[in-house]
Structure 1
Amino acid sequence: MEQQGPVSNRTDPVLPCPGCGGLVPDVPGPVHPYMRASPGCWQVYGDVVARWYAEPLAGPARWHHVDAYAVQHAGGAEHDRRQRRSVAVHLITLCSLLELRQRPEVAAARRGRTSDVVLPRVGLSDWPYLEPPSRQGPVTVADLDGVRTTAEEDTVAAAWLESAWTAWAEHHAVVRTWATILQEVRS
C-alpha cells in the first residue's frame, strides 16, 4: 500500500510568488536574505524540506531541492554577488545531475567546491550575472505542497528539478562548460 504523505490543509488566500510564480499562501513572515521569494513560498519550501528530512525521498530531489529552489528564486542577482554565486553553483549542480548524469550525492557533494574549482580555470574572479528566464518553469515547490503519496511526491520532485533546469536553457551552453570543468576535477 502506498504511504500517504501530508495533505495541505492551508486555507490562506494564495498569490503568485514573485520568484518562481507558484501559487503560495499569502502570509506574512520571513524570507530568504537574498533570494526573491514571498514569505508564503519560503514557508512552503521549509515545510516540504522538513517533511523530506523526516522521511527522505529516495530520488535526486533528496539531494537537489536546494538547487531547484535557488535557481527559481534568482531575482536581484545583477546587484548581489551572493545571488550570482548561488545561481551559478546551483545551475552547475543541476547540469551535473541532469545532463552529465552524475550520481545525486556526488553532484551535491561538489557544490561547495564549485567556485574554487571552476572560476580559476575559466579566468574569472567572480561569477558573471546570468539573466534569469522570464518564466521559471511549470513546476515549482508549490506543486509539492499537499501531494498525497510518496510516489506522487517522487514524480513531482523529479519534474521540479527538470523544470528548474530547463527554464534556464538560454544559459545551458556556458553552464555545461562550467559543469564539465567541475566534473573533470576529481574530488
Structure 2
Amino acid sequence: MNSPDDTHESTVCPGCRAVLPSSRWPETPKYNASPECAEVAGELLGFEVENAARLGYLHQLRIDAYGGQHVSPDAPRIGPVFALNGLYMFLERGSGNLDVRTAHGIMANSYDDWPRLVPPDRVGELTAYDVLIAGGVDEVESALLKWARQVWESWPDDIRETIRELTVELVPERYFRR
C-alpha cells in the first residue's frame, strides 16, 4: 500500500467503507471499490497464494466475500447473485471452490432473469483490509471466515432467501456437501 510519494492522505472505499491510505492503484470499474481497496484485495490474493496449501480452500469464498461487499450499481445483475450464491453454498451448504464455480457455470447457462440486488447500507463490519492485517495464516484464515459470514448475514433476509431458492432451483444437489 505504500507508494513512493505517499502523502498520508486517505480514501474511503464506497463498498466496504474501509479508510485506507491513498495509492496509485488503477480504478476498478467492476466493483464498487476504491483503488486502494482493490490493491488490498490484490495483496490478500498474494497472501493466499503464498499460503495456498493452507488457504487455498478459501479462494472462492474470498472472491465472493469481496464481491458481496463491493456491489456496483452499474454492474451486471449476475455479479452480486454469484457472490451471494458462493457465500451461501460455502457457509450453509458446505460446498467448496470447485462446487461453487461449477454452480456458477450451471446457473449462467440455465437462467438469465437475475434479480437486481441492492446491498444494505453497511455490508459487514470487517473488510478485506482487516483480513489482510489479521496476522499469520491462522489469524487470516479465521478473519476471512468471519468476514465472509458477516457479508452474507448483513444482506437482508429476503435477499438471502431469494439466493437460497435460486440456488436450490438451478444447481443439482450433488454440489451441496450438506
- The answer to whether TM tops 0.5 is yes
C-alpha separation in 2, matches of 1:60 and 1:129: 29
Residues 56-98 of structure 1 deviation map (CA, whole Å, 9 limit, x = unaligned):
243742332110111111031xx44x2x111011111111111
Q: Does 1:158 align with 2:145?
A: yes
Aligned to 2:167: 179
2:34 aligned to which of 30, 33, 38: 38
Cα drift, residue 106 of structure 1: 1.6
Cα drift, residue 111 of structure 1: 2.4
- The structure, 1 or 2, with the larger RCO (C-alpha pairs under 8 Å, 6+ apart) is 1
Q: Which amino acid aligns with 2:119?
A: P
C-alpha separation in 2, matches of 1:108 and 1:154: 20
Cα drift, residue 150 of structure 1: 1.0
The structure with more helix, counted as a fraction of residues: 2
Cα drift, residue 50 of structure 1: 1.4
Change (3 A) 1:46 1:30: same
Aligned to 1:3: none
Change (3 A) 1:89 1:26: same
Aligned to 2:66: 69
TM-score scaled to structure 1, two decimals? 0.79
Gaps of 5+ in 2: none
Task: Report if aligned partners of 2:132, 2:140 keep a CA contact under 8 Å in 1.
Answer: no
2:102 aligned to which of 101, 106, 109: 109
Gaps of 5+ in 1: 1-7, 120-124
Q: How many residues align?
A: 170
Q: Which amino acid aligns with 1:149?
A: G
SS in 2 for 1:24: strand
Q: Does 1:17 align with 2:16?
A: no
- Provide the aligned C-alpha RMSD in A: 2.3
Q: Which stretch has the larger CA shift, 96-105 or 129-138?
A: 96-105
Cα drift, residue 159 of structure 1: 0.8
